[in-house]
């Protein structure tokens, strides 16, 4: 059974999938994306949108896709943390810069069922999308639509009376 992305001569080769074991996007959450190649040995930088990047340093299998494509499994040879939001991946089968460049723009996915457990009172943002926001005095205000990265803090996007409202997130 071949079910991982393979590369040759720096270009993506055919991808063979056993559909009985194929991971679906609905079972995963996006963790970030591949931004650009690094060096000549096939490493690629990734921008990671995670709370604690350290929790992913030992993960050997991730999934990748562009837009509406099906997920493809990748095997990680090394994962070097550069900052809280940046990591450098070395992926099995990627031997040169051209191979790494072929991955630019791919979104990196991880199975939701394998996400690190959070402490009591903590949650992943994606778990709240679709929730109603309630105010103690005003009642229902709207629905959580998404979250954005802000310069100083994350920002919650909500729909309020047919309009988009942005709310800065704080720890309180």
Its pTM stands at 0.74
User: What local confidence, expressed as pLDDT, does residue 118 receive?
Assistant: 79
Residue 172: its pLDDT value, please?
62
Low-confidence ranges of the chain (pLDDT < 50): 1-20
State the pLDDT at residue 17.
Answer: 42
Cβ atoms of 63 and 73 closer than 8 Å: yes
Q: Are 79 and 2 in contact (CB under 8 A)?
A: no
Between CA 20 and CA 91, with CA 66 as vertex, the angle to 5 degrees is 75
Q: How far apart are the first and last CA of the chain?
A: 49
pLDDT of residue 13: 40
What local confidence, expressed as pLDDT, does residue 18 receive? Answer: 45
């Amino acid at each position: 059974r071949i079910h991982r992305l393979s590369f040759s001569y720096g270009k993506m080769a055919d991808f063979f999938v056993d559909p009985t074991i194929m991971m679906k996007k609905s079972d995963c959450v996006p963790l970030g994306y591949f931004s650009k190649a690094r060096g000549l040995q096939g490493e690629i930088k990734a921008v990671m949108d995670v709370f604690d990047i350290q929790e992913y340093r030992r993960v050997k299998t991730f999934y990748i896709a562009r837009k509406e494509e099906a997920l493809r499994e990748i095997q990680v040879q090394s994962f070097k943390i550069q900052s809280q939001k940046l990591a450098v991946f070395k992926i099995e089968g990627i031997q040169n810069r051209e191979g790494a460049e072929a991955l630019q723009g791919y979104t990196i996915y991880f199975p939701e069922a394998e996400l690190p457990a959070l402490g009591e009172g903590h949650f992943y943002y994606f778990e709240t999308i679709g929730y109603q926001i309630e105010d103690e005095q005003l009642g229902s205000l709207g629905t959580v639509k998404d979250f954005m990265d802000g310069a100083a803090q994350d920002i919650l996007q909500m729909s309020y009376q047919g309009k988009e409202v942005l709310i800065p997130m704080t720890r309180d």
